[in-house]
Chains A and B, each alone.
Chain A
C-alpha cells in the first residue's frame, strides 16, 4: 500500500509570503497525485492533480504543484498567501489501474498571519 507523508502538521505564513506545503509518497511507480483543501466544517475540495504530462500543474486559487519523481514529492506552492487561504490541506495519491483506492496524508493546517 501507498503511504503519504505531509511534513509539518501546522504551517504559518505572513500574508503576501510564499506558501510551501510538502508532500512525499512512497510508491516506486509514479502514482496519480492530488491536493485538496478543506475549510472549516466543509468537505474536501480538489485543488489540483497530476496524472501524466507536464510535471508542473496549476490549480485553483493560484496554487500549483510540481511532481518530482526523483524525490517522490509533490509539494504545493503559492507565491503570495492570502487570508482566505487559511485552511487544512491534504495530499493524496492513487495507483493507476488499481481500482478506486486513494491514500491521504494527515493534513497540514495553514495559518495566514495578517
Chain B
C-alpha cells in the first residue's frame, strides 16, 4: 500500500451504533488530519495530530472521538451520530506544510 489509505470506503450506520473509521499513512509524515466534507459545504477541518499529539480540535461534537496511537495511524470513533453527520470523511497527512497534504480516498458515511 502506498500513500494514505482509509477503511471502510463506505459505511451505513444507525444513530445508536458505534463504529470506527481507520486511516493509515505510508509516507513517514508527522501530521495527520480528519476533515468532513458535506454536500454544498466547504471542507471542514475536524482534528489535527502532530507526532501523535492532538493540536487542533475545531469544536467537534463529542460523538466524534479521534485516536492517534502512532504517527502512521489515525482513527475516528463514532457513536450516537445524527443524520446531519452523513458526509465524506477525509483523512490527510503532511510533513510540515511545505509539501502540502496527501489525502486518502475518504469514507462515505451515511447515518440512518
Contacts and interface: CB of A to CB of B under 8 A. Distances in A.
> Do the two chains bind?
yes
Interface of A: 32, 34, 36, 41-46, 49, 51, 90, 92, 94-96, 98-102, 104-107
B90 interface: yes
Given A100-B55, A101-B48, A42 B105 contact: yes
Contacts of B101: 34, 44, 46, 92, 102
A106 B41 CA distance: 8
A49 B106 contact: no
Given A43-B4, A49-B100, A107-B42, 6 more contacts: A41-B88, A42-B105, A43-B90, A100-B94, A104-B43, A105-B42
Contacts of A49: 99-100
Chain A interface, >50% SS class: loop
A106 B42 contact: yes
Interface in B83-112: 88, 90, 92, 94, 96-106, 108
A102 B101 CA distance: 9
Contacts of B99: 49
B90 A96 contact: no
